Amino acid sequence: MRVLINGFGRIGRTILRQLLTTRTDTGIKVVGINDVAPLDICAYLFAYDSVFGPFPKPVSGADGVLSVGDHQFPFSQEKDLSKLDLRGVDLVLECTGVARTSDIARRGLDAGAGAVLISGPSPAAEVTVVLGANDSALGDARIVSNASCTTNALAPLVRHLHDALDVTAAHMTTIHCYTSSQPMIDAPRGDFARSRAGALSMVSTTTSATELVAQVIPELAGRITGAAVRVPVASVSCIDLTATIRDAVTTEDLHQVLQRANSALIGMTHLPLVSSDLRGRAESLVVALPESFATTAQQIRVFGWYDNEWGFSARMIDVALRMGRR
């Protein structure tokens, strides 16, 4: 499967890291990278990552080529992807974060690529797919959204809980690390609270995850609310879900239900871990069983960790593979 990475930021670089280290057997071949930033800076940021550490092989960038170990990737700097010749490219991994309108989202198709997978929510996508929640929705859509990192953490969990216990109402809070949408020092942003220095304060804000869950699990529309608190941590976030259920359970019952969800998407831990312990985990969510319990017979609390960069990038690769098998 021949793919092009458009946008070599946090997700684009993390996808390539995985394809060259932990996911070398996928059959995915990166045939190009496109980013408006200078190649030498992109090579440097790939070689030295503040979250995941130095890349274990030599990295350099020159003459339109990003070299990583024995691999060489053609590197372009085209702002408008439709101006490139992408005939022969099966899939564009659209990781710029700006593909929110149809004219931008379909630029990969206009350039000749077979399909586009967007690394975030996008109203321009034909369908939003979250593995573990609505896998069958993929169909033959050519512009697909992989939703958000928080949606990928929340939706498979809620899908499993709803199927097992019948969720009647729920509220989720994501305690989320800071991102590039926040400034390092106080500076104007569209949102007043997010205009404050992201590494100095906890910032109460909103999340799109609950709206996206309603998209991918329509029967739960109107039953789930959510909020976010951005915290001064560089990586790994968590969700704290409180749900009212129709079927009464004990904590032991709940743990049995959660353990049945244990998979490549939803991991489990019995240990008293902290966020840094979860860095580099590929699951969409890792449920902390000691922090998950029945608060009353028909109300539960479930707590889980997710590496919002590594885990989400792993799902991008997984969805890309499914698109390639259609």
Residues labelled as active-site residues: 149
Sign of torsion, CA 310 210 299 262?
A: negative
Length of the chain in terms of residues written: 326
Q: Burial of 257 by CB count in 10 Å (0-12 exposed, 13-18 middle, 19+ buried)?
A: buried
Helices (H) and strands (E) in the chain, counts: 8, 19
Bridge partner list, 30: 3
Angle at 289 between CA 284 and CA 291, to 5 degrees: 100
Contact (Cβ atoms closer than 8 angstroms) between residue 175 and residue 203: no
Structure tokens, 67: 């070299």
Q: What gap in Å lies between CA 163 and CA 58, rounded to an integer?
A: 48
Contact 205, 178 (CB under 8 A): no
Kindly state the DSSP code that residue 208 receives in the 8-state scheme: S
Phi, psi of 96 (to 5 degrees): -80, -25
Coil, strand or helix at 125: coil
Rounded Cα–Cα distance for residues 181 and 188 (Å): 11
What value, to the nearest 5°, has the Cα angle with vertex 94 and ends 88 and 99? 125
